[in-house]
């Protein structure tokens, strides 16, 4: 008899540990533990989503004939950690061995490997590419660019392929997916779910147990079952996918979701699989329901980017999250926790994050991430914030997006240049600037958009590193053509702004 460990982001019937187990003899162990909810102070909606989905998955396993030992958070015998629960259940059942699917972060992998128990850790095979396959792809390459990995994943899966050529004669239709924010959005948003009895119990438990975590439980409407997740996917494919591509980078003050799927929590928790999602999108293209730019862009995020960042996370090792190539040391400002700010874009992104445990990729990359990078915030603090506040954030997927893509803290492993911009980009892709106390058109002075001066300040602070970058050289040439007095004013204004930020003033 073995114990079969199932974690909160492993809610898949085809999990390798379950597939290798003997249903007639082995015992499934699942546990809601304080250690997993508080190693960073996760958003209450994230905790509630995972706990409720775990309870529903445990019930489904029991209905399928599994013997499940499930520990709720408020169980008086709860050991408080995954390893503690395994040891308790081994003593209780007499089991001699644990079978587990590899966790998605080094912290928990190391905890299991160091535990005083006999454990067999199996590969997590719910991905398109195995870690060994990614290692083989990466070996010997000077630059690990996602685009080339993505093409290999297209060939492997056959998605949007005609023989050995991509549908539409192009691998990437991203050029068509950068339209500015529309005047109106015809999509009502992701499919909402009324909490079932299990979820209502969990919501009450989370509210009582984690009162000091950033975020609200109000309006909780995530699906917490496999069936619900499939309905959410179908809703997106039917109602939003056709316009997803056009406006996937756009942002609106009055609309949180635009045409985004918001199925990443279900995918990353295991309620949906990557291939079934992509096949549903491909079918919409083949049926004439959605255009190629929307479908290709959507599929690229899953079999390209998602698979790629997982490969990077495990390739780079346990110390990846502590990388700080630009030596940024500023503390994360209070505005990330809802502190007052005059910057409307940041205020809206943080407000939405607090309310929904969600923001789409451009809000994360080009608003909250862009500001943190320009201001020189410690990337490990930025990483922990993203891990805490988003329902879809698990370290294997969040850390490379933050440390690598957003903060350039890995020195360019993921991104060939830092993703920084002035206020002009935010103004082009959103309507945020229309409601801001700052003026995006002003380049210097008290009323100028802070992104405008911080952008140049960042470039000059890191001129030695980036001036010879092929993708950034033109910006340095523009700077050098500016009048000397204007350049001095820009840098002085940036210094004043950062001093106010450090002093805790409202900026």
User: Residue 365's pLDDT is what?
Assistant: 97
pTM of the shown model:
0.97
Considering only CA atoms, which of 267, 269, 271 is closest in space to residue 298?
267
Say whether 183 sits in a helix, a strand or coil. Answer: coil
User: Residue 318's pLDDT is what?
Assistant: 97
* Residue 174 scores a pLDDT above 90: no
Indicate the DSSP class of residue 297: H
Q: Which two tokens stand for residue 71?
A: 């520990």
Domain with CATH 1.10.579.10 in the chain: 334-502
User: Residue 440's pLDDT is what?
Assistant: 98
How do strand 119-122 and strand 27-31 relate by DSSP bridges?
A: unpaired
Would you list the DSSP string of 215-247?
S--TT-----SHHHHHHHHHHHHHHTHHHHTTT
User: Residue 332's pLDDT is what?
Assistant: 98
Q: Model confidence at 178, in pLDDT bands (50, 70, 90)?
A: confident
User: Residue 175's pLDDT is what?
Assistant: 85
Asked whether the CA dihedral 210, 216, 220, 225 is positive or negative, the reply is negative
Using a pLDDT cut of 90, give the percent of the chain over it: 97
User: Residue 225's pLDDT is what?
Assistant: 98
CATH topology of domain 334-502: DNA Cyclobutane Dipyrimidine Photolyase, subunit A; domain 3 (1.10.579)
Domain 131-189+240-315 has CATH 1.25.40.80: yes
pLDDT tens, residue by residue, 191-234: 999 999 999 999 999 999 999 999 999 999 999 999 999 999 99
- Hey, how many other C-beta atoms are within 10 angstroms of the C-beta on 287? 8
User: Residue 126's pLDDT is what?
Assistant: 98
User: Residue 176's pLDDT is what?
Assistant: 84
Average pLDDT over residues 2-24: 98
Q: Which two tokens stand for residue 349?
A: 């992104």
Average pLDDT over residues 326-351: 98
Q: Model confidence at 177, in pLDDT bands (50, 70, 90)?
A: confident
Considering only CA atoms, which of 412, 352, 411, 403 is closest in space to residue 382?
403
Q: Model confidence at 82, in pLDDT bands (50, 70, 90)?
A: very high
User: Residue 184's pLDDT is what?
Assistant: 86
* Residue 496 scores a pLDDT above 90: yes
Q: Model confidence at 105, in pLDDT bands (50, 70, 90)?
A: very high
Considering only CA atoms, which of 310, 331, 317, 462 is closest in space to residue 400?
310
User: Residue 182's pLDDT is what?
Assistant: 87
User: Residue 314's pLDDT is what?
Assistant: 98
| Distance from C-alpha of 168 to C-alpha of 297, rounded to nearest angstrom | 13
CATH of span 2-122: 3.40.50.620
Average pLDDT over residues 265-293: 98
* Residue 339 scores a pLDDT above 90: yes
* Residue 25 scores a pLDDT above 90: yes
Using a pLDDT cut of 70, give the percent of the chain over it: 100
* Residue 181 scores a pLDDT above 90: no
CA count, 13 A, side-chain hemisphere, 42: 24
Domain with CATH 1.25.40.80 in the chain: 131-189+240-315
User: CB within 8 A of 49, min separation 6: which ones?
Assistant: 220, 222, 224, 265, 269, 357, 391
Mean pLDDT of the chain: 97
* Residue 462 scores a pLDDT above 90: yes
């Amino acid at each position: 008899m073995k114990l079969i460990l199932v974690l909160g982001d492993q809610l898949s019937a085809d999990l390798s540990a379950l597939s290798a187990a003997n249903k007639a003899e082995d015992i499934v162990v699942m546990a809601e533990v304080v250690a997993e909810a508080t190693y960073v102070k996760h958003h209450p909606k994230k905790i509630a989503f995972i706990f409720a989905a775990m309870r529903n998955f445990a019930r489904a396993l029991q209905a399928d004939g599994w013997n499940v030992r499930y520990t709720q958070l408020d169980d008086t015998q709860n050991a408080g950690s995954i390893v503690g629960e395994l040891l308790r259940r081994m003593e209780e059942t007499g089991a001699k061995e644990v079978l587990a699917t590899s966790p998605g972060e080094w912290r928990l992998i190391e905890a299991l490997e160091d535990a005083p128990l006999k454990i067999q850790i199996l590969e997590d095979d719910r991905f398109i590419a195995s870690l060994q396959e990614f290692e083989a792809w990466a070996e010997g390459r000077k630059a690990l660019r996602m685009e080339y990995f993505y093409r290999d994943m297209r060939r492997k899966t056959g998605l949007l392929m005609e023989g050995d050529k991509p549908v539409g004669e192009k691998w990437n239709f991203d050029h068509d997916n950068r339209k500015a924010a529309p005047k109106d959005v015809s999509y009502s948003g992701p499919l909402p779910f009324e909490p079932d009895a299990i979820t209502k119990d969990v919501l009450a438990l989370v509210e009582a147990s984690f009162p000091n975590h950033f975020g609200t439980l109000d309006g909780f409407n995530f699906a917490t079952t496999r069936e619900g997740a499939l309905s959410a996917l179908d809703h997106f494919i039917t109602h939003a996918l056709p316009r997803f591509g056009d406006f996937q980078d756009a942002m609106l003050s009055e609309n949180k979701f635009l045409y985004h799927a918001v199925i990443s929590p279900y995918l990353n928790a295991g309620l949906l699989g990557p291939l079934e999602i992509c096949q549903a999108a491909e079918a919409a293209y083949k049926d004439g329901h959605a255009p190629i730019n929307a479908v290709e862009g959507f599929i690229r995020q899953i079999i390209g980017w998602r698979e790629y960042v997982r490969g990077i996370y495990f390739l780079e090792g346990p110390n990846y999250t502590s990388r700080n190539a630009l030596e940024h040391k500023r503390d994360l400002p209070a505005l990330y926790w809802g502190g007052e700010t005059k910057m409307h874009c940041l205020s809206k992104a943080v407000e939405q994050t607090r309310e929904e445990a969600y923001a789409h990729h451009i809000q994360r990359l080009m608003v909250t991430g862009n500001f943190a990078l320009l201001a020189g915030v410690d990337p490990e603090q930025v990483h922990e914030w993203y891990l805490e506040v988003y329902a879809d954030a698990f370290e294997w997927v969040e850390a490379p997006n933050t440390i690598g893509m957003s903060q350039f803290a890995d020195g360019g492993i993921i991104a060939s240049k830092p993703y920084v911009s002035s206020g002009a980009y935010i103004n082009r892709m959103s309507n945020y600037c229309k409601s801001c106390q700052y003026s995006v058109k002003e380049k210097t002075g008290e009323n100028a958009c802070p992104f405008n001066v911080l952008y140049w300040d960042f470039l000059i602070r890191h001129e030695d590193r980036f001036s010879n970058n092929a993708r950034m050289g033109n910006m340095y040439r523009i700077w050098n053509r500016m009048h000397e007095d204007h350049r001095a004013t820009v840098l002085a204004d940036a210094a004043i702004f950062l001093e106010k930020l450090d002093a805790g003033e409202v900026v």
